[in-house]
Amino acid sequence: PILFSLRLFPPTLLHQRNLKMKLGTVATVMMVGSSAAFTTPVSKPVSTSLAASSKADLEALGKELNPILGYFDPLKLADTDMWGQSEEFTIKFLRQSEIKHGRVAMAAFVGYCVQSNFHWPWAMTTDGDAFPSTDLTPPEQWDALPTAAKAQIILFVGFLEFYSELYPGEGTVSALPHYTKPDGIPGKFPTFDDVPHPVPFNLFDPFKFSKNRSEADKARGLVVETNNGRLAMLGIFGFLCAQKIPGSVPVLSGIVGPYDGEPMAPFASDFHIL
């Protein structure tokens, strides 16, 4: 969840403002850099990002994603035939995993920047408790949440993960083959059209901006999204490392402050087994 993200450490109000300015600069540089450095040229045809289902497709896609590095698979994951399935199954599973985690990382990075400076102005609970202050770092904000609130966030994210694997079958309004199937597309989230309870917006393209986009534009957009997701994964873990291991990310020295808790144990402040 976004609330696992990190935030600036404010020793004094003046220093807090300086740190927020630094954070805004870092966020701007990384976001601009992601779009400038990783956007595929418009004139270049993109044909493999949506339909990649073989190692040859991955090698071609690697060049589209990064012409300098190219295809990079040091652990040979594309050759593993996961769970005894086909090459197509394995590659589509890996593509889905990377796209999904890239999206989560982008949300985490944006959440890091936003909750470092703002929080909802209304009450968080029915008892009138306010949201955790921006004087706290994001992991401290998470620790300050009621256990019930943490459970709601995790259950909601778990529902999205569960629903992403359902994929309504034929005869439904939102019929869509599973991403590992021959006609499946990694990264395409099912719509909520068949959910019994009315849902006003879909998770993917809620305002239908992509409805009339060509397949080439969608493929090109997925290339850009994948690269931005990779950058966001490096970015959010850079913040995490800088906060937990002082000096590990020199460029972030003086920008992020330390955190004494355990960001990988979401309920550590409530209870723990060991």
Residues 115-172 pLDDT 10s = 888 888 899 988 899 999 888 888 888 888 998 999 999 999 999 898 888 766 655 6
Weakest mean pLDDT among 14-18, 114-118, 126-130, 196-200: 14-18
- In sign, the C-alpha dihedral spanning 65, 68, 71, 74 is negative
Tell me, what's the pLDDT at 238? 93
Quick one: pLDDT band at residue 25, thresholds 50, 70, 90? very low
Quick one: pLDDT band at residue 50, thresholds 50, 70, 90? low
Phi, psi of 145 (to 5 degrees): -70, 150
With a cut of 90, say whether residue 193 has pLDDT above it.
no
With a cut of 80, say whether residue 27 has pLDDT above it.
no
Tell me, what's the pLDDT at 157? 92
User: Which tokens go with 223?
Assistant: 């290339």
Quick one: pLDDT band at residue 81, thresholds 50, 70, 90? confident
Tell me, what's the pLDDT at 17? 40
Q: What is the DSSP string of the chain?
A: -GGGS-----SSHHHHHHHHHHHHHHHHHHHHHHHHHHPPPTTS---STTT--SHHHHHHHHHHH-TTT-S--TT-GGGS-GGG--HHHHHHHHHHHHHHHHHHHHHHHHHHHHHTT---SSBSSTT-PBPPPTTS-HHHHHHHS-HHHHHHHHHHHHHHHHHHTT---TTSTT----TTSTT--TT-PPPSTT-SS--SS-SSSTT-TTTT--HHHHHHHHHHHHHHHHHHHHHHHHHHHHHHSTTSSGGGTTTS----S-TT-TTTTT----
Tell me, what's the pLDDT at 107? 94
Give the whole-number percent of the chain exceeding pLDDT 70. 76
Q: What is the average pLDDT across 36-43? A: 39
With a cut of 90, say whether residue 99 has pLDDT above it.
yes
Weakest mean pLDDT among 10-14, 39-43, 208-212: 10-14
Contacts of 178-184 with C-beta under 8 Å, sequence gap 24+, read 179/92, 179/93, 179/95, 179/96, 180/85, 180/88, 180/89, 180/92, 180/93, 180/96, 182/53, 182/88, 184/92
> Which residue reads 């040229």 in tokens?
41
More reliable by pLDDT, 33 or 204: 204
Are 258 and 132 within 8 A, CB to CB?
no
